[in-house]
Structure 1
Amino acid sequence: MASSLLNGAENLKHVGLISPPRVSFLGSDFHGNCFPNRVLLPYIRNSNAKILVPKCSLSASRPASQPRFIQHKKEAFWFYRFLSIVYDHVINPGHWTEDMRDEALEPADLYDRRMRVVDVGGGTGFTTLGIVKHVDAKNVTILDQSPHQLAKAKQKAALKECKIIEGDAEDLPFPTDYADRYVSAGSIEYWPDPQRGIKEAYRVLKIGGKACIIGPVYPTFWLSRFFADMWMLFPKEEEYIEWFKKAGFKDVQLKKIGPKWYRGVRRHGLIMGCSVTGVKPLSGDSPLQLGPKAEDVEKPVNRFVFLLRFILGAIAATYFVLVPVYMWLKDQLVPKGMPI
């Protein structure tokens, strides 16, 4: 199996959704007991956007470079080749529940069934099921780099009329000023360059259109930070805001989300931890200029290094499968009203 996996990785032609090898930010995360579970964070206005104002102590800054073993397109492709088998039954129940999904999509203002919506990194279509509650399926496009995830989406009756395509979040196959809404859930953590992906979100939206990106938040618990930095990108809340602002979005807001049984505790890290929205103020492409892409998917890979990174990344991912089990048990054992 390892041999076929590595041979397939070398010849891989698919492109997809992941995060930058060397990115440094000055921002920091928020400790779980400072905010309730689901609220719009307070903000102040300036000429460009609404900026988060921390109300509690800040965590230490991350190093400029991290290993992040499931961070490149080829690694993510093969990671989801196997995870797609159990994704809806293992990941979603712990980190991305139906009530979380509906709350996270609320700021996207999906109020018209005729809206044209693109769901980028749509995977198995779990988030799309929330979108088609408000928008006709024939007006929704699901895009993902993983044919294995998309195969799961195609099996869902409610999504039969959706357009389903393979594609790259950093190079979307849609014309400029195309969509009324852009939605992406659980995808940004795999983008080699989140800023480039958000720039693309700006480009494909119509004037007045809204982007909604749902993703993880950086944990403050030391062990969770260790495994987060091994596995994939867990952005800090202010990083999301900065990426949106630089891309040209206005009226940027961030909403915290999490399973009810976390009781608002976020220090262990959530695979889905916040929903960020921004409005496109002008037609056309983003004013932001960027250089070449961070990753060349055609570049040959060292088989041993690839396999080692894949195994270490899978081990780190296992930790975040166990975290919700731990939190669920605490919720059952600790009396209601007491902090966990």
Structure 2
Amino acid sequence: MAMASTYAPGGGARALAQGRCRVRGPAGLGFLGPSKAAGLPRPLALARRMSSPVAVGARPRFIQHKKEAFWFYRFLSIVYDHVINPGHWTEDMRDDALEPADLFSRHLTVVDVGGGTGFTTLGIVKHVNPENVTLLDQSPHQLDKARQKEALKGVTIMEGDAEDLPFPTDSFDRYISAGSIEYWPDPQRGIKEAYRVLRFGGLACVIGPVYPTFWLSRFFADMWMLFPKEEEYIEWFKKAGFRDVKLKRIGPKWYRGVRRHGLIMGCSVTGVKRERGDSPLELGPKAEDVSKPVNPITFLFRFLVGTICAAYYVLVPIYMWIKDQIVPKGMPI
């Protein structure tokens, strides 16, 4: 891969799923709560908050919450495998990103969190027996697509929350999550859960976006969903208790290593659990309460704006592919 590099800054899943299943799906349309921006109508106040300089992970991006993501994928699931993946998440990229997960044995127990239509799970079952793999996602529409794939027939497929996994502590040999962290309201909580469900010596592999530097791409990224910086991934892993944390860059080969526009799948981050039990990190209440009542007008505004911003990132890989065809090989694009 043109963008691959690595650096280090410093028993049956089916039975587990039956043993402790606290699955809680979205219960309606969602909104974080009333705006504090005085004097502005709520949608405009939200837009004002979106443009303010807040730390990554803190601002209310329009699709970076479970309820918005739930409905976003209600429609995206229809074209996800055939329209979205070819531009952002190819089979070559998937195999390259999974390499650090060290899937060396077919008898490993693996959970694929936020696995959606099972595209990443297909890469996992190349190395691990399907009956040892659990695919979890909050979207029943995505999971319906996964259930239709013949290669995943032996995989346990279930609904669940990445920030509150329905499995006992010390359950899996491998935790893998690809293309999910960008929708987590609290990514630190999700990575803490990854630590909890792994066994001693287990390895977590989180594959996700990287933050753009080009101003227009940065604007749409900040409006749409979470695009973490590489150092933020490292920090989240280390705070959760992981050791030997490493990050490997990935990306479509036609980008020729360009990262200024950000990448929906831009890095594969791994860490090892060196102690048994839960993460030592203590966290407060969850960032999003899916049971709270919502304002449908506000939700519709958030959903539409987020979808418009997402459309920009459908066009970026097309633009980069055209540049790759036009600009002579060996020259920067």
Q: TM-score, normalised by structure 2?
A: 0.85
SS of the residue 2:244 aligns to: strand
In structure 2, the residue matched to 1:232 is 225
What corresponds to 2:32 in structure 1?
A: none
Q: Distance in 2 between matches of 1:259 and 1:165?
A: 30
User: 2:99 matched to 1:106?
Assistant: yes
1:175 correspondence with 2:175: no
The corresponding residue for 2:270 is 277
Residues 109-155 of structure 1 deviation map (CA, whole Å, 9 limit, x = unaligned): 00000000000000000000000000000100000000000000000
Q: How does 1:78-93 map to 2 (within 5 A)?
A: 78-93=71-86
The answer to whether the Cα contact below 8 Å between 2:73 and 2:139 also exists between their aligned partners in 1 is yes
Q: Does 1:142 align with 2:117?
A: no
* Alpha-carbon distance change, 339 to 141 in structure 1, aligned in 2, over 3 angstroms: same
Residues of 2 paired with 1:190 and 1:44: CA distance? 25
Q: Give the conservation status (yes or no) of the 8 Å contact 2:9–2:246.
A: no
The DSSP-based 3-state class of the residue aligned with 1:119 is: strand
Identity %: 80
Distance 1:127 1:171, change over 3 A: same
User: In 1, distance between residues paired with 2:237 and 2:172?
Assistant: 17
Unaligned runs of 5+ in 1: 1-35, 46-60
Give the structure 2 partner of residue 63 of structure 1.
54
Question: Equivalents in 2 of 1:220, 1:165: separation in Å?
Answer: 37
- Please point out which of 187, 191, 201 is paired with 1:194: 187
Deviations 1:283-331 (A, max 9, x none): 1000111111111101011111000000000000000000000000000
- The amino acid that maps onto 1:177 is D
State the partner residue of 2:13: none
Is 278-287 or 61-70 further displaced after alignment? 61-70
- Number of residues paired by the alignment? 290
Is the 8 Å Cα contact of residues 133 and 156 (structure 2) preserved in structure 1?
Answer: yes
Matched residue, 2:238: 245
CA distance in 2, matches of 1:40, 1:153: 31
8 A Cα contact 1:108 1:210, kept in partner: yes
Partner of 1:77: 70
1:120 paired to 2:91: no
- Partner residue, 1:321: 314
Q: Secondary structure at the match of 1:40?
A: strand
How far apart, CA to CA, are the structure 1 residues paired with 2:262 and 2:60? 18
Q: TM-score, normalised by structure 1?
A: 0.84
Would you say 1:218 and 2:218 are equivalent positions?
A: no
Q: Distance in 2 between matches of 1:200 and 1:90?
A: 31
Give the match for residue 18 of structure 1: none
* Counterpart code for 1:39: S
How far is the alpha carbon of 1:67 from its aligned partner?
4.4
**How large is the RMSD of aligned CA atoms in angstroms?**
1.4
Per-residue deviation, 1:269: 1.2
Whether contact under 8 Å (1:66, 1:230) holds in the other structure is: no
**How far apart, in 1, do the equivalents of 2:96 and 2:146 lie?**
21
Which residue type is aligned with residue 316 of structure 1? C
Shift in Å at residue 73 of structure 1?
A: 1.0
Q: Give, in whole Å, the separation in 1 of the partners of 2:60 and 2:102.
A: 37
Letter of the 2:149 partner, please give it.
Answer: K
Give the conservation status (yes or no) of the 8 Å contact 1:67–1:229: no
For residues 107 and 67 of structure 1, the distance between their equivalents in structure 2, rounded to whole angstroms, comes to: 32
Letter in 1 for 2:241: G
Residue aligning to 1:184? 177
Distance 1:194 1:178 in 2: 21
Question: After superposition, what is the alpha-carbon deviation per residue over 1:40-75, rounded to whole angstroms, capped at 9, x for unaligned?
Answer: 02x454xxxxxxxxxxxxxxx963354411111111
> SS in structure 2 opposite 1:276?
strand
Deviations 1:78-127 (A, max 9, x none): 00000000000111101100000000000000000000000000000000
2:327 is aligned with what amino acid? Answer: V
> For residues 218 and 9 of structure 2, what CA distance do their matches in structure 1 show?
29
Measured in 2, the distance between the counterparts of 1:97 and 1:252 equals 25
Measure, in 2, the Cα distance between the counterparts of 1:170 and 1:137: 24
CA shift in 2, pair 1:97/1:305, >3 Å: same
- Using the alignment, how far apart are the partners of 2:60 and 2:157 within structure 1? 32
In the other structure, the counterpart of 2:88 is 95
Over 3 Å counting, the alpha-carbon distance change for 1:44 and 1:189 in structure 2 is: closer
8 Å Cα contact 2:9-2:234 kept in structure 1: no
Between the aligned partners of 1:149 and 1:119, the Cα distance in structure 2 is: 13
* 1:39 equivalenced with 2:5 (yes/no): yes
